[in-house]
């Protein structure tokens, strides 16, 4: 089983492009794994508790429950629009999640992993955590990244994070694929080497924060939002589920093949708190999840933020340019792990060039010419020359390169591999000029060979493209009249998908060009 999750998004506003990127990236990986023949479970969802959410709700004058419900809908609707094929939905106000978090708190308490103490210190409201002197900048101050910082003196519950520090250092050092890509693992190793052995404050007094999961053995406190949120990965996978629950079978899903998260939440949340929490619960080294860390979409080299007013709205983009263009751009113009600049001109250019022009052209040519010059009938027993052999060799190479890239979560390289075959086929058509061959009945064998090689290549490309662009792949399969094409698995992609005498359908534009109308001056 390939169990894949994303970070769960705070619902204190509408979804932004970073949220959409992560969800689409995980969806592409999930779909690719299904294509490989794996059984997949894809979980995504929303992080609904915490001070940020409570504060924004208060500002808007609504109660947090209503506020969260309303905003959660925005996320759900967008994921539906973007075609996410998620199997589960993690919403932290879900009763089943609360029961699981409380059972874990009780269990950890019984194991002596929790204790209560008074603490006086500085607290970042934005990051919802106490700060230490290590968090001060060179000028000795708490920088703007911490937002509003206040001094607090209060009693809280702590988790004995320090008990697990040595184990985590050793584990991260030996488990080379614990965090992917490697340079992100190095960041974690660096953070672990410099970390002081501190315990983690996991409660908030109710007088300050009501919007959270209540401590089962101390009702004056609610659970710190990160401690509750991280548990979603197991609670919604069926960990400790009640009899008769419709949640999945935990033993089947766990360990998680990939928690897909952004670089900002590796240290400390996913790289330190989460493995230590699991370790404290009794999870062995072999039961630790893998963490796939992606980079950020920026704007002209700057972070996107509400205060800078440069946040991109994925919903509006999908309406304006179409879901296909958006899904494609989100995984085509960024290398998994690294940052990239979000650039609308490039979104339009890459879609128009690689999809509307190149792939659209191949679809149109292959089907149109088969219809016009061969009554829509593919003849496979035809004259195979050197050029056809080269085309087949190119397809084989491209498929292997695509596989290697996609196995390494490098979607952009996978797409570039497909594009190489598409360009190859278009050049092959230009070279062999079926429209000329059609003029001479003596060249019918050559004509059939060229048409066949274009149609067969198109069928392969549609399958390879399907994890990123499932709907266009369906449209191509329908025009090819190959209803079962997208039921094929990666290993089935051998030459000969199109049968002798197969009748193809009529071409209809799969990728209408995006035309940007000049703003009226």
Shorter beta-carbon distance to ligand MSP: residue 65 or 516: 65
Strand, helix or coil at 248?
A: coil
- Cβ at position 7, least distance to ligand MSP in Å: 3
Residue 458 DSSP symbol: H
Shorter beta-carbon distance to ligand MSP: residue 168 or 330: 330
- Cβ at position 270, least distance to ligand MSP in Å: 7
Closest CA to 490 of 41, 32, 42: 32
- Which residue of 7, 425, 454, 482 would you call a contact of ligand MSP, by CB under 6 A? 7
- Cβ at position 128, least distance to ligand MSP in Å: 10
155 contacts ligand MSP (rule: CB under 6 A): no
Q: Is 152 exposed, middle or buried (0-12, 13-18, 19+ CB in 10 A)?
A: middle
Q: What string of DSSP letters covers 310-336?
A: ----HHHHHHHH-HHHHHHHHHHSS-T
Residue 485 DSSP symbol: G
- Cβ at position 126, least distance to ligand MSP in Å: 11
Shorter beta-carbon distance to ligand MSP: residue 339 or 474: 339
- Cβ at position 281, least distance to ligand MSP in Å: 16
Helix/strand/coil percentages in the chain, nearest 5: 50, 15, 35
User: Nearest-CB residue to ligand MSP?
Assistant: 262
Shorter beta-carbon distance to ligand MSP: residue 149 or 311: 311
Shorter beta-carbon distance to ligand MSP: residue 265 or 417: 265
CB contact burial 340-356 (16+ within 10 A = b; e otherwise): bebeeeebbebbbebbb
Q: Is 503 exposed, middle or buried (0-12, 13-18, 19+ CB in 10 A)?
A: middle
CA–CA distance, 9 with 75 (Å, rounded to integer): 9
89 contacts ligand MSP (rule: CB under 6 A): no
Region binding ligand MSP by CB under 6 A among candidate stretches 17-25, 96-104, 119-127, 382-390: 17-25
- Cβ at position 263, least distance to ligand MSP in Å: 7
- Cβ at position 161, least distance to ligand MSP in Å: 16
Contact 371, 332 (CB under 8 A): no
- Output the six-digit token pair for 399: 């498929």
- Which residue of 30, 229, 237, 411 would you call a contact of ligand MSP, by CB under 6 A? 229
- Cβ at position 408, least distance to ligand MSP in Å: 19
Strand, helix or coil at 237?
A: coil
SS (H, E, C) 362-421: HHHHHHHHHHHHHCCECCCCCCCCHHHHHHHHHHHHHHHHHHHHHHCCCHHHHHHHHHHH
- Output the six-digit token pair for 415: 């797409």
- Output the six-digit token pair for 256: 């998680």
CA–CA distance, 296 with 312 (Å, rounded to integer): 13
Strand, helix or coil at 200?
A: strand
Phi, psi (5° rounding) for residue 293?
-105, 125
Widest pairwise Cα distance in the chain: 93
Region binding ligand MSP by CB under 6 A among candidate stretches 19-27, 140-148, 180-188, 376-384: 19-27
Residue 92 DSSP symbol: T
Shorter beta-carbon distance to ligand MSP: residue 229 or 347: 229
Shorter beta-carbon distance to ligand MSP: residue 136 or 263: 263
CA–CA distance, 402 with 413 (Å, rounded to integer): 7
Residues 267-296 that bind ligand MSP (CB under 6 A): 296
Residue 207 DSSP symbol: T
- Cβ at position 264, least distance to ligand MSP in Å: 5
- Which residue of 10, 221, 328, 402 would you call a contact of ligand MSP, by CB under 6 A? 10
Shorter beta-carbon distance to ligand MSP: residue 165 or 304: 304
- Which residue of 2, 3, 9, 178 would you call a contact of ligand MSP, by CB under 6 A? 9
261 contacts ligand MSP (rule: CB under 6 A): yes
- Cβ at position 413, least distance to ligand MSP in Å: 19
19 contacts ligand MSP (rule: CB under 6 A): yes
CA–CA distance, 447 with 438 (Å, rounded to integer): 6
Residue 39 DSSP symbol: -
- Which residue of 230, 429, 469, 480 would you call a contact of ligand MSP, by CB under 6 A? 230
- Which residue of 234, 304, 398, 510 would you call a contact of ligand MSP, by CB under 6 A? 304
Region binding ligand MSP by CB under 6 A among candidate stretches 96-104, 140-148, 161-169, 225-233: 225-233
- Which residue of 2, 3, 4, 21 would you call a contact of ligand MSP, by CB under 6 A? 21
Region binding ligand MSP by CB under 6 A among candidate stretches 147-155, 224-232, 389-397, 499-507: 224-232
Residues 44-63 that bind ligand MSP (CB under 6 A): 47
Residue 354 DSSP symbol: I
- Cβ at position 79, least distance to ligand MSP in Å: 13
Non-local (6+) Cβ contacts of 327 within 8 A are 24, 28, 82, 83, 468, 469
- Output the six-digit token pair for 424: 């190859």
Shorter beta-carbon distance to ligand MSP: residue 299 or 384: 299
- Which residue of 2, 3, 4, 22 would you call a contact of ligand MSP, by CB under 6 A? 22
Shorter beta-carbon distance to ligand MSP: residue 299 or 490: 299
Shorter beta-carbon distance to ligand MSP: residue 261 or 347: 261
DSSP bridge partners of 341: 298
Q: Which residues of this protein are in contact with ligand MSP, per CB under 6 A? A: 7-10, 18-19, 21-22, 47, 229-230, 232, 261-262, 264-265, 296-297, 304
């Amino acid at each position: 089983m390939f169990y894949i999750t994303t970070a769960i998004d705070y619902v204190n506003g509408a979804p932004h492009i970073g949220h959409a990127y992560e969800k689409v990236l995980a969806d592409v990986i999930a779909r690719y794994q299904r294509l490989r023949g794996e059984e997949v479970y894809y979980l995504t969802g929303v992080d609904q508790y915490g001070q940020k959410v409570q504060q924004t709700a208060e500002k808007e004058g609504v109660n947090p429950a209503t506020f969260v419900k309303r905003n959660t809908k925005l996320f759900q609707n967008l994921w539906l629009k973007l075609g996410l094929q998620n199997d589960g939905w993690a919403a932290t106000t879900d009763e089943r999640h609360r029961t699981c978090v409380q059972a874990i708190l009780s269990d950890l308490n019984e194991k002596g992993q929790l204790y209560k103490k008074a603490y006086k210190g500085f607290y970042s409201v934005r990051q919802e955590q106490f700060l230490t002197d290590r968090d001060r900048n060179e000028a000795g101050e708490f920088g703007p990244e911490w937002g509003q910082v206040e001094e607090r003196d209060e009693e809280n519950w702590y988790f004995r994070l320090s008990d697990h520090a040595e184990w985590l250092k050793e584990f991260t050092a030996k488990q080379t694929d614990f965090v992917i890509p490697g340079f992100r693992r190095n960041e974690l190793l660096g953070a672990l080497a410099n970390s002081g052995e501190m315990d983690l404050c996991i409660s908030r007094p109710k007088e300050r924060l009501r919007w959270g999961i209540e401590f089962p053995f101390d009702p004056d406190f609610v659970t710190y939002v990160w401690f509750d949120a991280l548990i979603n990965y197991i609670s919604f996978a069926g960990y400790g589920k009640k009899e008769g629950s419709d949640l999945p079978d935990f033993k089947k899903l766990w360990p998680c093949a990939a928690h897909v998260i952004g670089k900002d939440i590796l240290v400390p949340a996913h790289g330190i708190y989460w493995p230590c929490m699991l370790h404290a619960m009794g999870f062995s080294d072999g039961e630790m999840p893998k963490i796939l860390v992606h980079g950020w979409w920026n704007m002209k080299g700057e972070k996107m933020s509400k205060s800078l007013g440069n946040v991109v709205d994925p919903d509006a983009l999908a309406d304006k340019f179409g879901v296909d263009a958006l899904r494609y751009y989100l995984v085509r113009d960024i290398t998994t792990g690294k940052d990239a600049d979000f650039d609308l001109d490039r979104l339009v250019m890459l879609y128009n060039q690689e999809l509307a022009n190149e792939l659209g052209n191949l679809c149109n040519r292959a089907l149109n010419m088969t219809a016009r010059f061969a009554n829509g009938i593919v003849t496979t027993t035809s004259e195979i020359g050197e050029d056809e052999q080269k085309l087949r060799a190119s397809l084989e190479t491209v498929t292997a390169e695509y596989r290697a890239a996609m196995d390494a979560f490098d979607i952009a390289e996978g797409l570039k591999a497909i594009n190489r075959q598409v360009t190859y086929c278009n050049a092959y058509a230009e070279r062999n000029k079926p429209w000329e061959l059609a003029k001479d009945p003596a060249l019918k064998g050559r004509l059939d060979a060229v048409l066949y090689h274009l149609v067969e290549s198109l069928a392969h490309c549609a399958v390879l493209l399907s994890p990123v662009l499932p709907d266009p792949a369906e449209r191509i399969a329908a025009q090819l009249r190959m209803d079962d094409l997208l039921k094929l698995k990666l290993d089935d992609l051998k030459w000969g998908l199109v049968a002798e005498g197969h009748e193809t359908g009529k071409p209809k534009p799969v990728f209408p060009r995006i035309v940007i109308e000049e703003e009226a001056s």
